[in-house]
Structure formats: structure tokens, C-alpha cells
Amino acid sequence: MKITDLMIPSVMIMDMKASTKEEAIDELIASLNNQGRINDPVLFKDMILKRELESSTGIGDGIAMPHAKTRAVNEATVVFGRSRKGVDYEALDGQPSHLFFMIAAPEGAANVHLQTLAALSRLLIDQPFVEQVKKAKTPADVVRLFDHKQAEKEREEMKTNDKQDGKPFIVAVTACPTGIAHTYMAEDALKKKAEEMGVAIRVETDGSEGVKNRLTKVEIAQAVGVIVAADKKVEMARFDGKRVLQTAVSSGIRKPEELIQKVLDKKAPTYHAEGGSDESEASDNKVSVWGKIYKDLMNGISHMLPFVVGGGILLAVSFLLENTLGQNNSIFKMLSTIAGGTGAFHFLIPILAGYIAYSIGDRPALMPGMVGGLLAANSNAGFLGGLAAGFLAGWIILFLKKVFTNLPKSLDGLKPVLIFPVLGLLITGSLMYYIADPIFNWVNTELVNVLNNLGTGNAVILGLVLGGMMSVDMGGPVNKAAYTFAIGVFTSSGNTNGLMMAAVMAGGMVPPLAIALATTLFKNKFTESEQKAGITNYVLGLSFITEGAIPFAASDPMRIIGANVIGSAIAGGLTQLWHINVPAPHGGIFVIFLANHALLFLVSIAIGAVVSGLILGFWKKPLDKKIAGHPSKSATNEKEVNIL
């Protein structure tokens, strides 16, 4: 597709006035609306913001690509906008965004926004080209630059696809979780560097539109090695026996020469599809055993979380209606049905177990994992039983793969359709029925009994620990361990489930709120960019999005983490001191009305945030005047970044 067919000169904004992310979105949408390219600016903005909630479309390097596909669009359009001063668009690299490409796609257009994203990403990976676009004087100059660059790119791709004799040949796969910009940026970086190094390359992309440029068996066989730059699961069995270098998609963008050279030097380990042991060894970023367990656990939790959040909040609302309108109210009955034991909550443990198993043993492990999780849920083995079922099913499938490695080729087809499903389910189900279920049923029951009978002092200590853990790494393993514990209690029987959730929610809300408060009260200790980000943290903190504090923690870990752990621990402890119950697993301020002591819950959070904010404000040193003009550095931060 030709990019400039969608880049209408009259819609372009060569000198944007916006100073915030929302102002930038509004300015771009206004241009679309003024030119009649959209029919409902309110709906279009809602769809843009909905996409931003998934992850920022500020992809880094000064570029943002907000996009939406909706009936509010009359004609497919790319709005080009340029901000000379830059806008804090919450970009993935934390830097201001200068070039904006807002993609508006009509509802009936098949994947036009994804095709446009892919095409733009391939062009914008070229920094000299980006600099030329930044210096363009008129919309006509922008169109000319993109026409010229796209034609040049097409010639390069034709040249690359025509593999010349004598050149070493490698193949690669790029993929990111969202499957949009980074997938194609990594593809383009690898292609460009390979051409410079005199290497022929074929790159398969696994993006939102599915797999494109799929590698053939002949190409894989001819290649001297394989690069898999992916942050999500890709099809690996086809690389059996090849030298495979596995790494993150970001490495494909940032370190293409290093990856290509490692493959050429035969430093990539040989990958074996069966057995599971070689896959981790083939990684460019080696993962420890505990790291692998954590990854598998998070795969289960991430798939389970929508059921927890959606079902949990609706179930809590149904409790509220039951208390006010009675059990015979039709809305209460509806909500309790779709969210409770026969609705969303019915799937929690099976989904958790199934996707833990899937992460370990791939697709053959999904079914036995989910059935094992269902057995755990039905026998009151709860969250812990689900964890056991997931790991058991995954490891059992790995064991079966090893056992049947040498099965005659003529019988290979029986493994996925007969051997793995039957034996996987039989062994997993038997272990859960005779061994795991009774054990975890007892453990789960005892845990709930202990929590139900905790004295105030012990409950406060537990609240202090859980609240503090939420601030240690703000979304990392320690944070997730605390939240996972609270979720486990939340999904179990007993009247303490909302108590633990109150502690972790309060603890998780404190870090961004504390940073927002510190940047407001102690302006001389934060850069202008940090002060703007601090304002955003008010919203993130109130929404229980702890990750808003991460950019600050990365630049000044000792002070940020130290101050926040203290405030979060205090907030978590106060929720237990005052016996606050929040029967919803997420939502922050938006579920405050569900708490039994809503005002005290707010007070707990406020006290924790004020304590952390004041500690941080007094502890942090004022900015060096020479560095104050540079938003990304401070006198104290510069030294600690080097230490990291």
C-alpha cells in the first residue's frame, strides 16, 4: 500500500501547539473533523483512548502512532503532526514525542490500520529519514519524502529477496505481544543490517494480522542459523536441529548486527524440539529455573486476570445490590449469575491452570491443565490446587514428549491427537484426584481458617508485609507475589478475602500517588518532564496502576523504592488495623464504594502517600542548575543510572 494515499496534506499539522498527551490527541482529531474525515469525534476519541489503555502508542525515538478502527471514520486517513517542542506522550522510552501519525480506519476496511502501522514502522526505523521528516517545511515536502522513501524501500526489498550466490543466508522471526510496531521495526532493522553485512536474510513477522512472509521448509533448511526476536510464543518445532538464537524483540531493533554475527560465528546453540531442555539454553537471554517458573506462573495469571477483574467487580456490585434491594432483585440475580460461580468466577482456576500448563508444555498441555484446574476448583483445592494442576500438567506433557521421542515416524501423528490428550489427562487427573486435591484442599481450608482467626496485631503485620511488597518492584515478581497471594485468598471461601485485597490495593496505589505529591510539593527537585509525568501519576495511582512509578524508580531506585515501601507498608497495615474489606480485585478509587469502610480506606491510602511523598521530597537533592534544563537527567539521577 502507498502511505501517501492516506496522508492528506490539508489534514497535516506542521506545528502542533499541544503540551500534553490528551491535548495532542484532541488537536489531531480536530484536524480530522475539520476536513470531514470523521463523523463522530467523541466516539473516535473514545476508541483512541481505549487503545492507549492497552499500552502507549508512543513507540519511542520521538514517534507516536495512535490509531483506531471505528464507524466514526468516513475515509481512511493518516494525520501527520509535528511538535517542535515535543510532547510527553508516555512513550515506551520515556522521551518526548515529536512526530505523530494518527491512523483513522473505517469499520469496514479490512486491516487497513494494521497494514498502515506496519508500513510506517518499516520506514520510521531509519533515523536519517526521521530527521528529514522533522525538518520538512511544508505538507508537500512530507508527501515527497514518504513517496521517495517508500519507493526506495521497495527496491531494497526486491534486492534483498533476490538472494545472490555466495552470500551466507539466515532466517529470522520477529514478534511482540501486541504484534504491531516493534514486530516490523525489528524486521526492518535486521534486513537493513544484513544488507550492510553482505548477508541474505528472510524475516517472518508474527503480528496482529497473523504470520506474514512465512518461512518455508526449504529456506529453513538452507539457512546457516535462525534468529527468533520475539516476546511471545512462536512456532519453534520447525527449527529442530538448527542453530537458533532466541532473544527479545527489542534486541532485534537495537542489536541486529550482534545477533547476525553470533549466528554467522555459529555461537547460537542447536535447538531440539522434543524434551524441552534445549529451548531455554538456546536463548540469548538465559533464564534461571525460577525465572522460567515465574514466566509460566505469570502466563496463567495474565490469562486469568480478566476473569478476576471483570467477574470480581460485577460480583461485588451484586453484593451491594443484594444488601440494598434484596435477593429477589432481578439485576442482582443477573449479575451474580454472570459473574459468580456459574459465570466468570467458574473459569478462574481452570484458566489459570490451563495457561500455566500451556506455557510449559505448549498446546498439548492446555486441555489436561484446564481439566486439572477444574477438578481443583470443584473440590475446594482452590488457587493453590490450580497452581499444582497447571505445573503438573505441563511437566507431565514434557515427560511424555521425552518418552515418545523415538516413536516411529509413521506413528508421529498419534501423539497430538491420541497419546498426549489421553495420557496427559489420565495422569494429571489421577494425581489431582488421589494426591493433590486432598492435600491442597486441606492447605486451602487451613489457610482460610488462619486468616479468619488472625488477631488484629498479626493481621496488621501481614498487611504491612503485603503493602510493602507492592512497592518493592512495582509490577515485578515481588509485587506479583503479593497480589497473587491476595487473589488466592480472594478466590477462596471465607470472609477475609476482601481484607487482603484491601492491603495490596492500598499498597499498590501509594507509589504513583506519592511521586505525584512529591513532584507537586518539591518542584525544585524534579525536572520539568518529571513534573508533568507526576501529574499523570495522580490518575495512575487512583486507578491502582502501580507501574506509573517505574520510570522514576529506574532513574533513582534507592530513594523512590525506599520511600514508597515505607508508605505502602503503612497503608497496607492501616487497612488491617481498621478491618477494611474491599470485595473487588482491582479498580482503585472506582470501586471505593464497595468497601465496608470507604472513608477509612481513603485515609489509609492518603496517609501512606503523604508519608512516602514527604520522605522522597526531603531525601531527594535539588537539581543541578546545569542539568535542570535536560528533562531526562538530574544531578542525583545521573550517578545512579550509571550504577544500574
67: annotated active-site residue: yes
The cell for 607 is 496517609
Strand order of the β-sheet with 169-175 is 210-212, 200-207, 169-175, 226-230, 244-247
Residue 627: CB atoms within 10 A of its CB come to: 16
Among candidate residues 98, 113, 148, 176, the one labeled active-site is 176
Lookup result for grid cell 524486521: 187
346: annotated active-site residue: no
Cα separation of 146 and 371, whole Å? Answer: 53
The residues near 469 (Cβ < 8 Å, ≥ 6 apart) are: 478, 479, 481, 482, 504, 507
- Which residues, in sequence order, are bridge partners of residue 454? none
Could you give phi then psi for residue 175, rounded to 5 degrees? -160, 140
Residue 269: CB atoms within 10 A of its CB come to: 17
- The size of the chain, in residues, is 644
Q: Per-residue DSSP letters for 604-630?
A: HHHHHHHHHHHHHHHHSPPPPTTTTTS
The residues near 535 (Cβ < 8 Å, ≥ 6 apart) are: 516, 519, 520
Burial of 410 by CB count in 10 Å (0-12 exposed, 13-18 middle, 19+ buried)?
A: exposed
Cα separation of 385 and 506, whole Å? Answer: 27
- B/e letters for 308-321, b = 16+ CB within 10 Å, e = fewer, are bebbbbbbbbbbeb
Q: Per-residue DSSP letters for 23-45?
A: HHHHHHHHHHHHTTSBS-HHHHH
The cell for 283 is 536463548
Cα separation of 144 and 151, whole Å? Answer: 11
Q: Are 319 and 583 in contact (CB under 8 A)?
A: yes
Cα separation of 486 and 312, whole Å? Answer: 13
> Can you tell me whether residue 13 is helix, strand or coil?
strand
Q: Are 63 and 78 in contact (CB under 8 A)?
A: no
> Can you tell me whether residue 241 is helix, strand or coil?
coil
The residues near 358 (Cβ < 8 Å, ≥ 6 apart) are: 299, 365, 366, 369, 394
The residues near 327 (Cβ < 8 Å, ≥ 6 apart) are: 333
Pick from 75, 65, 80: which is nearest to 106 by CA? 75
The cell for 512 is 504513583
Cα separation of 604 and 463, whole Å? Answer: 12
Tell how far CA 420 is from the center of its chain: 31
DSSP 398: H
Q: Which sequence positions are flagged as catalytic?
A: 67, 176
